[in-house]
Amino acid sequence: MSDFPGPSGPPEPFGHPDRSGRSGYSERDVQREVSELEGRSTTAARLFDIRRIIGGLFVVYGVIVTLAGLTASDAEIDKAEGVNINLWTGLGMLALGVFFLAWLWLRPIRPAEQGAEEGAE
């Protein structure tokens, strides 16, 4: 008994003609598959956008450093010559992280235009 479904054995590669000479896939199937792959690609591009990663990390670390600056003792502030360096650095990191996340929100990645791709080829 074969490990592959169906009576004809292993599946043919995508778009490869079957034994009758037909491809086995309709134009609608191919277009549906292409649009599904484009949707996945756009979702992955948005998820792994470098602005999201940088902004998120700066916000998380900015919160941690700001909290360290808010709870700093007088001895720690005196060690930094009277400047609460953790507080100011944390606030700067928060501002930078919020800037990156706002940039991502205001200018999101747009899916590539199909006409532009065809013109480039």
Q: Does 15 or 69 have the greater pLDDT score? A: 69
d(CA 104, CA 59): 14
Q: Which residue has the tokens 């008994």?
A: 1
% of the chain residues with pLDDT over 70: 60
Which range has highest mean pLDDT (24-33, 56-65, 103-112)?
56-65
Residue 29 lies in a domain: no
Residue 82 lies in a domain: yes
What pLDDT, on a 0 to 100 scale, did the predictor assign at position 49?
A: 81
% of the chain residues with pLDDT over 90: 40
Number of structural domains in the chain: 1
What pLDDT, on a 0 to 100 scale, did the predictor assign at position 88?
A: 96
* Residue-by-residue DSSP string for 58-116: HHHHHHHHHHHHHT--HHHHHHTTT--HHHHHHHHHHHHHHHHHHHHHHSPPPPPPHHH
* Residue 102, domain extent: 50-107
What pLDDT, on a 0 to 100 scale, did the predictor assign at position 108?
A: 79
Mean pLDDT on 49-76: 94
What pLDDT, on a 0 to 100 scale, did the predictor assign at position 32?
A: 76
Residue 70 lies in a domain: yes
Query: What is the model's pTM?
Result: 0.56
Residue 79 lies in a domain: yes
Residue 45 lies in a domain: no
Q: Is the pLDDT of residue 57 over 90?
A: yes
Residue 85 lies in a domain: yes
pLDDT band at 26 (very low <50, low <70, confident <90, very high): confident
Residue 14 lies in a domain: no
Is residue 43 within 8 Å of residue 109, measured between CB atoms? no
Which range has highest mean pLDDT (14-18, 73-77, 108-112)?
73-77
Residue 81 lies in a domain: yes
